[in-house]
Structure 1
Amino acid sequence: MRKNIKLVRIISFFVVLGLIYVAMLQIKISEYSHLKAPKNADFLIILGARVKGEEPSPVLTSRIDIAARYLKENKNSIVIASGGKGPGETISEAEAIKRELVMQGIKESRILLEDRSTDTYENIKFSKRLIPPSAKQGIVVTNTFHLYRALSISDYQGLSVKGLPAVTPWSAVLKSYSREYLAITKFYLEKYIIGF
């Protein structure tokens, strides 16, 4: 009986600890989800997300839409479409981003493609190589749930950028945030314990 009580207490302790940890992550995510992007940035990096065949997912569409709005208001900004081709994707995420931007009136000459990356770390790493040497101010475009980690990875790689948050579609909230807690934990482990 005492062993059972002790086990329940141990399990309860770790459950409470886990809830506190998740709450702390959510606070961090929320802090970054209301950022205001500066005007006239030299470049934008749109981080890729799932493409179904050739069709951008709702998550990726929201990123493209807010980036297109920014690019229309800031005519001198160029954009790096970032994302390789994953399972179930007929074209790369970068190509899907480019096509949608062009459809929304963004000139193709303003769009650079980074189509080899497979995760956020590589998005930033490979996109850095396409940034013009004269560029000073940059912006990363991604969804509210993802911006904290994206900017943390950028900072870790020595890329100083601001954030432009896209609204996370309601249909993707539960899945996206659940996965993001795990992804942030993985980032912490790699950064502070394992090392990239």
Structure 2
Amino acid sequence: MKNKSLLKKLVAACLLISMCYVGFLHYKIVENSKLDVPKNADYLIILGARVKGTVPSLALQYRIDHAAMYLKENPNTVAIASGGKGPGEDISEAESIKRELMGYGIDESRIRLEDQSTDTYENIRFSKKFIPEEAESGLLVTNDFHIYRAKMIADDEELKIGGLPARTPIQALLKSYTREYLALTKYFIISLFS
């Protein structure tokens, strides 16, 4: 009986700690998605997401839409489209981003392609070489749930950069946030041991 009571207390404590941890992560995600976005950034790094054939997924489309709006309002900003070609993709994510931006009227000369990356770490690491030499300020363009972790990864790459959060498709909210909690946990564990 004593063991059963102890086990219940242990399970309750684990649940409470887990809820507090997820609450903390959620707070940091929301906090980072609501920071002020500076005008006239020298460059944007638009992080890739799934492309279906040649068509951007809704999450990627939101990123592109938001980037295009910023680029139109800030004509001196350069765009770095980042993302390689994965399974089920006929073109790279970077190429898909570029095509959509050009469809918005963004001149091709303002768009640089980083089309080799396979994850957020590589998106940022490989995009660094496309940043204009004289650049001082930049923004990461991704969905709101992803800004917090993406900025920490950029910081690890010695890239001080702000965030330009695009909204997350409503039908993908639960899946996106659940995956992000797990990805953040993995990030913190790796950081702890590196």
SS at match of 1:141: strand
Other-structure match for 1:83? 83
Distance in 2 separating the partners of 1:50 and 1:11:
38
Q: TM-score, normalised by structure 2?
A: 0.97
Q: CA RMSD in A?
A: 0.9
- Residue type of the partner of 2:110? R
Per-residue Cα deviation, 1:61-95 (whole angstroms, up to 9, x for no partner): 10000100000011111100001111221111111
Distance in 1 separating the partners of 2:127 and 2:121:
10
By how many angstroms is 1:190 displaced? 1.2
Other-structure match for 1:111? 111
Other-structure match for 2:5? 5
Distance in 2 separating the partners of 1:176 and 1:120:
14
By how many angstroms is 1:165 displaced? 0.7
Distance in 2 separating the partners of 1:134 and 1:80:
15
Distance in 1 separating the partners of 2:14 and 2:56:
39
SS at match of 1:90: coil
By how many angstroms is 1:2 displaced? 2.5
Distance in 2 separating the partners of 1:192 and 1:153:
14
By how many angstroms is 1:11 displaced? 1.5
Asked if structure 2 preserves the Cα contact closer than 8 Å seen for 1:154 and 1:161, the reply is yes
SS at match of 1:99: helix
SS at match of 1:136: coil
By how many angstroms is 1:168 displaced? 1.0
The runs of 5 or more residues in structure 1 that have no matched partner are: none
- Residue type of the partner of 1:161? I
SS at match of 1:127: helix
Deviates more, 1:46-55 or 1:60-69: 46-55
Other-structure match for 2:58? 58
The runs of 5 or more residues in structure 2 that have no matched partner are: none
Q: Percent identity?
A: 58
By how many angstroms is 1:100 displaced? 0.6
Per-residue Cα deviation, 1:91-138 (whole angstroms, up to 9, x for no partner): 111111111101111111110011111111111100001111111111
By how many angstroms is 1:38 displaced? 1.1
Aligned residues between the structures: 194
Distance in 2 separating the partners of 1:151 and 1:18:
24
By how many angstroms is 1:55 displaced? 1.1
- Residue type of the partner of 2:122? E
Asked if structure 2 preserves the Cα contact closer than 8 Å seen for 1:43 and 1:131, the reply is yes
SS at match of 1:106: coil
By how many angstroms is 1:58 displaced? 0.8
Asked if structure 2 preserves the Cα contact closer than 8 Å seen for 1:35 and 1:165, the reply is no
By how many angstroms is 1:6 displaced? 1.8
By how many angstroms is 1:35 displaced? 1.9
Distance in 2 separating the partners of 1:12 and 1:100:
50
Distance in 1 separating the partners of 2:159 and 2:127:
10
Other-structure match for 1:183? 183
- Residue type of the partner of 2:29? I
Deviates more, 1:174-183 or 1:50-59: 50-59
- Is 1:102 the equivalent of 2:114? no
Per-residue Cα deviation, 1:143-173 (whole angstroms, up to 9, x for no partner): 1100000111111110011111101111110
